[in-house]
């Protein structure tokens, strides 16, 4: 792995631990020789992780739609900033530039971005690892929902295992590094 895409909030959230975790992730990525790919913003956890990567001497690549640049939300000091026309282009380019994905705490955009790359993995469109950094149990309800989907037979157990989870960045990155993708087709039946 050379670069990790991190999906995270454009604000800091209710707990100071979220910002501290974003800063730690940035430093750890650099320590491990990994580049950051992210949404290109200068606000919230997005800005915190990019700043931490840059301060540690690492590579931070942002991908942001022009509409958000127009709102002055783009990070001006990145190693590289790709300006695209739409959120669809943003997600596609972020996925192309990355060798794995991590979702940190965030809102609807973070959930959507993570679930989209997870779905692409389930469908066999890529074989890159997808992880949740479960800071202070933030993703416990989502993990419970994923487990419920397995119980209700909407998600197959091998596909549920596509979601790697840890509360700490070092073991989560270890899981991403040793990830073995599922070869099971998505569809249980076609009737």
Structural domain containing residue 9 = 3-177
**C-alpha–C-alpha distance, residues 4 and 69, integer Å:** 23
The total number of structural domains that make up the chain: 1
pLDDT on residue 81 = 98
**C-alpha–C-alpha distance, residues 157 and 169, integer Å:** 24
Nearest one of 94, 113, 93 to 103, comparing CA atoms: 113
Contact predicate 41/48, CB 8 Å = no
Mean pLDDT by 10 residues, the chain (191 residues): 97 98 98 98 97 98 96 94 96 97 98 97 94 98 98 95 98 97 64 47
**C-alpha–C-alpha distance, residues 53 and 64, integer Å:** 18
Q: Is residue 190 part of a domain?
A: no
Q: Is residue 191 part of a domain?
A: no
Q: Is residue 88 part of a domain?
A: yes
Q: Is residue 77 part of a domain?
A: yes
Q: List, as own/partner pairs, every contact residues 86-94 make where C-beta atoms lie below 8 angstroms and the sequence separation is at least 24, other chains included.
A: 89/65, 90/39, 90/63, 90/64, 90/65, 91/116, 91/117, 93/63, 94/5, 94/37, 94/38, 94/39, 94/63
pLDDT on residue 191 = 47
pLDDT on residue 147 = 98
pLDDT on residue 187 = 57
Q: Is residue 188 part of a domain?
A: no
Q: Domain with 170 in it: what CATH number?
A: 3.40.50.450
pLDDT on residue 190 = 52
Q: Is residue 17 part of a domain?
A: yes
Q: Is residue 182 part of a domain?
A: no
């Amino acid at each position: 792995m050379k670069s990790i895409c991190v999906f995270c909030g454009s604000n800091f959230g209710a707990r100071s631990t979220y910002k501290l975790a974003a800063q730690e992730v940035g430093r750890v990525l650099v320590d491990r020789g990994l580049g950051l790919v992210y949404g290109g913003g200068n606000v919230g956890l997005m800005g915190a992780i990019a700043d931490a990567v840059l301060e540690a001497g690492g590579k931070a690549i942002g991908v942001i739609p022009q509409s958000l640049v127009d709102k002055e939300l783009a990070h001006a000091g990145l190693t590289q900033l790709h300006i695209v026309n739409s959120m669809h282009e943003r997600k596609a380019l972020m996925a192309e530039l990355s060798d794995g994905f991590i979702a940190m705490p965030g809102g609807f955009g973070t959930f959507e971005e993570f679930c989209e790359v997870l779905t692409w993995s389930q469908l066999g469109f890529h074989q890159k690892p997808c992880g949740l950094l479960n800071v202070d149990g933030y993703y416990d309800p989502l993990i419970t929902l994923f487990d419920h989907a397995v119980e209700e037979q909407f998600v197959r157990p091998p596909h549920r295992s596509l979601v790697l989870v840890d509360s700490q960045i070092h073991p989560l990155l270890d899981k991403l590094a040793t990830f073995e993708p599922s070869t099971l087709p998505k569809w249980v039946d076609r009737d």
